[in-house]
């Protein structure tokens, strides 16, 4: 068995993919307010910067930068996942349990990549993801994305990436 080792770099920037156990679920967008609250609480308890984020029905992608001297992104994810799960249970949303009684809403782990110097490439990937998954035809149509904050701050134009089929840019996606 291969042992995965996380790259803990104090003050580092990291790209994450975090996924629900049920890949057909829409729990993240159906309960986006609870998810945003979970992020807000985690950031109040242990600050970090969200450089980019997109919330899709069954998974999310985000880029974080941790404070100098702090490398504990795992603890932050643990808090976000736990708060979101408990909030759904309290609201009466049915959440499956594992045999040991633990909730089975999230996949147990998450995928993380240390960003060294290609942060813009990762931000593009995050923002283009709803188009890639054919949820919308324009990046600007997906409401659960930091893309809109980038537009407000003048970092990206509102028509960035155009319409599906018109884009000539490569966002690191596999050609199907």
Q: Is residue 174 very low, low, confident or very high in pLDDT (cuts 50, 70, 90)?
A: very low
CB atoms within 10 A of CB 170: 9
End-to-end CA gap in the chain: 31
Q: Which residue has the higher pLDDT, 130 or 108?
A: 130
Which residue in 4, 125, 144, 150 is the catalytic one? 144
Residues 6+ away with beta carbon under 8 Å from 122: 15, 52, 63, 113, 115
Average pLDDT estimate for 40-56: 97
pTM comes to 0.86
pLDDT digits 0-9 by tens, 130-170: 999 999 999 999 999 999 999 999 999 999 988 766 544 55
pLDDT at 9: 80
pLDDT digits 0-9 by tens, 20-30: 999 999 999 99
| Domains along the sequence of the chain with CATH | 13-116 (3.30.70.1290)
Q: Does residue 4 carry a pLDDT above 90?
A: no
When the pLDDT of each residue in the chain is averaged and rounded to a whole number, the result is: 89
pLDDT at 8: 76
- Kindly state the DSSP code that residue 141 receives in the 8-state scheme: G
CB atoms within 10 A of CB 111: 13
Separation of CA 72 from chain center? 17
Size (the chain), residues:
176
Active site residue 144: yes
């Amino acid at each position: 068995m291969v042992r995965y080792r996380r790259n803990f770099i104090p003050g580092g920037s990291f790209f994450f993919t975090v996924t629900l156990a049920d890949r057909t679920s829409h729990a993240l967008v159906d309960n986006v307010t609870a998810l945003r609250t979970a992020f807000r609480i985690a950031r109040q308890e242990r600050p970090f910067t969200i450089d980019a984020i997109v919330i899709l029905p069954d998974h999310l992608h985000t880029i974080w930068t941790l404070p100098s001297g702090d490398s504990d992104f795992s603890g932050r994810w643990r808090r976000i996942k736990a708060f979101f799960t408990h909030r759904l249970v309290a609201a009466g949303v049915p959440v499956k349990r594992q045999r040991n009684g633990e909730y089975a809403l999230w996949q147990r782990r998450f995928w993380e990549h240390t960003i060294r110097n290609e942060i813009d490439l990762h931000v593009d990937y995050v923002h283009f993801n709803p188009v890639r998954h054919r949820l919308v035809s324009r990046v600007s149509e997906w409401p659960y994305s930091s893309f809109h904050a980038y537009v407000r701050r003048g970092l990206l134009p509102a028509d960035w990436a155009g319409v599906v089929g018109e884009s000539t840019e490569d966002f690191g996606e596999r050609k199907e």
